[in-house]
Amino acid sequence: MSYVDEVLELVKKKNASEPEFLQAVTEVLNSLRPVVEANEELYRKNAILERITEPDRQILFRVPWVDDNGQVQVNRGFRVQFNNAIGPYKGGLRLHPSVNLGIIKFLGFEQIFKNSLTSLPIGGGKGGSDFDPKGKSDREIMAFCQSFMTELSKYIGADVDVPAGDIGTGAREIGFMFGQYKRIKGSFEGVLTGKGLTYGGSLARTEATGYGLLYLTQELMKCHGESMEQKIVTVSGAGNVAIYATQKAQQMGAKVVTCSDSTGWIYDPEGIDVALLKEVKEVKRARLTEYAAARKSAEYHEAKDGSVWQIPCDIALPCATQNELLIDDAKKLVANGCKAVCEGANMPTTIDATEYLQNNGVWFVGGKAANAGGVATSALEMSQNSERLSWTFEEVDAKLQGIMVNIYHNIDDAAKRYGMEGNYVAGANIAGFEKVVNAMLAQGVV
């Protein structure tokens, strides 16, 4: 049996109850076959694949907090420190009722390769909680964040592990967590990214994932002789990534006609009104029905009535959550002439849907490459914190743009090197993996 198959079997046996983690590992290891085959003896002897699929440590803890009725609530907190071969653990904190260890492990595993692709010195980690921020008061959010950080603070630090935002964790939550860390440690340090601009945050971090997604998509289109001008774009999600992806796509001359949240989706043939979407989602924290109520051209559909992927488009950008673009969606996209799919979310496309898109001529760039702009800008925030300076929006944005264009060419080149031209999924996994493996081999058995 090949080394990849042996390790895949082992990982499946050891993590049988974690489908998302197994999905992420299966995708990565399958696409690494040519690299692993070329170095089989060395990698096998050093147990590279066994080590890269087993987190350095997995921290699970109780998060007790008091709600507005005086009732004690208990959530579960997670931090998975996956691999720090090329830098301190780095990755977001997800607050969503669906969070469990398998989901945090899949995200932490993907983060290793994504962070490597940024070309910046950051290792892979992820954390979060099954806490549901929806409908909670600001005081309840603060109570949860303080309790969460009271425990998490024992395991993180500016040179150790630097968490950030993800689903359900934005500037408000990062603020409360930063305050509690500072209080416990008595140290003002760059221990979190996505901080507010008055206390060490970086300009352009809020926009970075969505903007970065479009910088990469634009380069992909350009290299295929196309531009973003006049393109019809479908976006899913209505959170941080979706909002700034929509904004940048529109700045590039494309028309974004959809957005979605967990209860429904919008088709707005006139083009999404970003100012209205921001008002509904960032200020009011309301449902998309409010967007539809305020905009004549918008159609509202319940989530049960299909998805945004049935709307014809040139480019599809899934920006909500894992496994939200399924095989039937992929078939609709292909039938409607979609040219490119670039993932703003982490693992939004299932493996069969990915293969269908790739086999039917759609240019497909996975999240590890396409959404790396967020964590890359987090690393730029860390640099600014270390030198105790802050850069202008234009400086950070220009660096982000350079990083995303570079990522596109790196993954394109890596795919070509292994005879898989146009397979950007394999290209990203290979390019991300090579750097981490070199560092692991150099650092010995740890």
CA-based end-to-end distance of the chain: 26
Residue nearest to ligand NDP (CB): 239
Q: Which does 90 bind (CB under 5 to 8 A by kind): ligand 2IT, ligand NDP, none?
A: ligand 2IT
Q: How many residues bind ligand NDP (CB under 6 A)?
A: 24
Instruction: Work out how close the CB of 342 gets to ligand NDP at its nearest, in angstroms, rounded to a whole number.
Output: 12
User: Counting contacts by CB under 6 A, is residue 375 touching ligand 2IT?
Assistant: yes
Nearest residue to ligand 2IT on Cβ basis: 92
Cα–Cα distance, 288 to 311 (Å, whole number) = 18
Residue whose entry in the numeric block shows the structure tokens 């969070």: 99
Closest CA to 53 of 114, 2, 113, 122: 113
User: Cα(112)–Cα(150) distance, rounded to whole angstroms?
Assistant: 26
Cβ proximity to ligand 2IT, 316 vs 379, nearer residue:
379
Contacts of ligand NDP in 359-388 (CB under 6 A): 371, 374
3-state secondary structure of 446: coil
Site string for ligand NDP, 197-236 (x = CB under 6 A): ------------x---------------------------
**Pairing mode, if any, of strands 57-66 and 264-267?**
unpaired
C-alpha span between 428 and 365 (Å, rounded)? 8
Q: How far is the CB of 7 from ligand NDP (least distance, A)?
A: 25
**Number of residues near ligand 2IT (by CB under 6 A):** 11
The residue (of 206 and 346) whose beta carbon lies closer to ligand 2IT is 346
Enumerate residues 73-102 that contact ligand NDP by CB under 6 A.
96, 98
Residue 126 a catalytic site member: yes
d(CA 337, CA 209): 26
Question: Catalytic: which of 114, 126, 248, 255?
Answer: 126
90 touching ligand 2IT, by CB under 6 A: yes
Q: Which of 91, 128, 239, 344 forms a contact with ligand 2IT (CB under 6 A)?
A: 91
Q: Are 221 and 252 in contact (CB under 8 A)?
A: no
Stretch in the footprint of ligand NDP (CB under 6 A) among 63-71, 150-158, 182-190, 314-322: 314-322
Both tokens assigned to 189 = 């340090």
Dihedral angle over CA of 263, 260, 379, 147, nearest 10: -10
Which does residue 261 bind out of ligand NDP, ligand 2IT, none, counting CB within 5 to 8 angstroms by kind? ligand NDP
* Tokens 């289109």, located at residue: 221
Instruction: Provide CB contacts within 8 A for 186, sequence distance 6+.
Output: none
Q: Are strands 363-365 and 340-342 parallel, antiparallel or unpaired?
A: parallel
What DSSP state is assigned to residue 77? E
Residue 128 touches ligand NDP, criterion: CB under 6 A: no
Using CA atoms, how far apart are residues 407 and 400, in angstroms rounded to an integer? 11
Residues 255-274 within binding reach of ligand NDP (CB under 6 A): 261-263
Query: Nearer Cβ to ligand NDP, position 36 or 315?
Result: 315
The residues facing 91 across adjacent strands are: 163
The residues of the shown chain that bind ligand NDP, judged by CB under 6 A, are: 96, 98, 165-168, 209, 237-242, 261-263, 319-321, 344-346, 371, 374
- The set of catalytic residues is 126
* Contacts with ligand 2IT, residue ranges (CB under 6 A): 90-92, 114, 164, 166, 193, 346, 374-375, 378
